[in-house]
Amino acid sequence: MKSNPKRARQLPDRSVAAAERTLAILDAFVGAGRSMSLGDLEQATGLFKSVILRYMISLERQNYIIKLHDGRYRLGPKLMELGHICEESFDILSIVNPALDRIAEETGETVSFYVREGENRVCIARRDSSHSLKVSVRPGSTHAFDETSISLVLIDFEGVNGHELEDRELFRTTSGVVDVLTCSLSIPVFGASGQFKGALTVSGPIGRFDTQDARMRQKLKAAADSLSFKLGHRPAGGGRTTKRKAA
């Protein structure tokens, strides 16, 4: 079978390593949130400047990268175009629902995901506890803001960028607000560019569910971090890193 010379010219390096270097360079901009010099990229990726420069020439030619007048680089319009396409086709529930399945299985309690709509909290997804005694919430249910941990997260983190959390306390807990027999533990979830997306909540009966339980908090924090990552959030300094390579 003859090779396609045109395709060979378009894809001079089809190795996995080359693809990973390209992604490492692009990911460096996600963590930085600004234009970057070759030195910045060298430090962020572990690649030599000479290697980065070769990739930047190709990325610039395809409009994935723009070289500024001062020699620094920023992300180009091609990525904006891809971002718009991704946003238009993105179904948040396809990411949230599998995450809720895992958390509900791990905790044994009811797990929900809420978003803010004006001055209301809206449940867009939930998984019920496997126990007969449980907190039951219907997806689509809408309630005015109250003193629940869900509302506290939606109010407290509205407009907060996930890249600027520093040592901010993430958990919110409440007990007996809607029902004197139930309590809840909530944590924020972030998306691309650190944008606040909603509240991830575990709720259950007082006595069985302890909102102060360290293992429960660890599970919910890990689940929120994983969900945020899948929604496009990359914490500052959390981009890809690779060993320093010459080629």
Tell me the domain boundaries of the chain.
5-87, 92-230
Output the pLDDT for position 11: 44
Compute CA distances 89 → 92, 93, 95, 100, 122, whole Å: 10, 12, 13, 21, 22
pLDDT of 49-107, one tens digit each?
999 999 999 999 999 999 999 999 999 998 888 776 665 555 788 899 999 999 999 88
DSSP three-state, residue 215: helix
Average pLDDT on 108-134 reads 85
Residue 227 CA, chain-centre distance (Å), reads: 6
Output the pLDDT for position 138: 72
Q: Which residues contact 85 (CB under 8 A, 6 or more apart)?
A: none
CATH class of segment(s) 5-87: mainly alpha
Report percent pLDDT > 90 for the chain. Answer: 52
- Global confidence as pTM: 0.63
Among candidates 93, 125, 133, 142, which has minimal Cα distance to 109?
133
Average pLDDT on 165-194 reads 91
Q: Given 3.40.50.2000, 3.30.2350.10, 3.80.10.10, 3.30.450.40, which CATH number is that of 92-230?
A: 3.30.450.40
What is the spatial distance between Cα 230 and Cα 100, in angstroms, rounded to a whole number? Answer: 13
Compute CA distances 162 → 32, 83, 208, whole Å: 13, 19, 32
Confidence of residue 177 (pLDDT cuts 50, 70, 90): confident
pLDDT of 124-142, one tens digit each?
899 987 776 656 667 778 8
88 or 204: which leads in pLDDT: 204
CB atoms within 10 A of CB 200: 27
CB 162 within 8 Å of CB 235: yes
Output the pLDDT for position 246: 53
Which alpha helices (H) appear in 108-201, and where do they start and end?
149-156
Output the pLDDT for position 2: 45
